[in-house]
Amino acid sequence: MSAKARCVRYPKFLAATARSLCFAVKSATFSPVENYDVAIIGGGPAGSTAATLLSKAGRRVIVLERDKFPRFHIGESLLPFSMETFTRLGIQEKLRAGFVEKFGGEIAEAGGEKAAKFYFKDGFGSRTDRSYQVTRSKFDKMLLDHAAESGAEVREETVVENVDFDQDGVRLRLSTDDPAGVSDPGHRKFARELRAKYLIDASGRNSVIGNKFKLKKSYQHLQKLSLFAHYEGLEREEGI
């Protein structure tokens, strides 16, 4: 229904109230509700992998990612078990062209006094003896771009504001950065709604569904943290 039609519908309103109602309706951005087979919250490795496989299976898929890729992330050292998934995705050549193969690693104590090297070929029954060392910003963008190339619709800088489930699936309300350039750079405006038969929450620690339904639990014996750092100019030992 247009803003004009919505205003005329209430002729008994006072003039000022009617003008306010018209302004509010005109200021909002309404779009037709689009329908998808699967909506995926999060465009990281989990979300983009699911999007690629589902798209290749003929499903209409949309990925909703709050950031703009490439973006910084940690977790650069991949394990051999990932290789079978990469084969399913069809990204072997992209991996070889963009990243360094690795055949093992080394684990050191916090003080550096003790360290142990290990080799994937001696490991956990994997079908391959190697994996890759990646730059996550580049790696994650490659996966997300591959999902789009496989047929998934990808929307970056899009935040899922609300999720409602019903007997037909799920309705998602989204927001995006205001293209008009408001004074507050953190301001977001309503953008659109969409529906999907199924929803995959791959939002990581943002945990959209976990927060909505209060599913997150705290395990006291796991109250730990991790630190990371990148170094330049170090002398490296001979590779393994």
* CATH code where residue 45 lies: 3.50.50.60
The pTM is what?
0.80
Residue 202 and residue 85 share a domain:
no
Residue 159 and residue 58 share a domain:
yes
Residue 68 and residue 99 share a domain:
no
pLDDT tens sequence for the chain (240 residues): 444 444 434 444 444 444 443 344 444 444 578 999 999 999 999 999 999 999 999 999 999 999 999 999 999 999 999 999 999 999 999 999 999 999 998 888 888 789 999 999 998 777 899 999 999 999 999 999 999 999 999 999 999 999 999 999 999 999 987 453 333 455 556 578 999 999 999 999 999 999 999 999 989 999 888 888 888 998 877 765
Identity of the residue numbered 18:
A
82: in domain = yes
Domain containing 141 equals 33-73+135-214
How many domains does the chain fold into? 2
pLDDT at 172: 98
pLDDT at 155: 96
pLDDT at 184: 42
pLDDT at 128: 92
Give yes or no for a contact between 114 and 108, defined as CB atoms under 8 angstroms apart: yes
Residue 144 and residue 206 share a domain:
yes
145: in domain = yes
Give yes or no for a contact between 162 and 2, defined as CB atoms under 8 angstroms apart: no
Residue 51 and residue 169 share a domain:
yes
pLDDT at 97: 97
Give yes or no for a contact between 135 and 120, defined as CB atoms under 8 angstroms apart: no
10: in domain = no
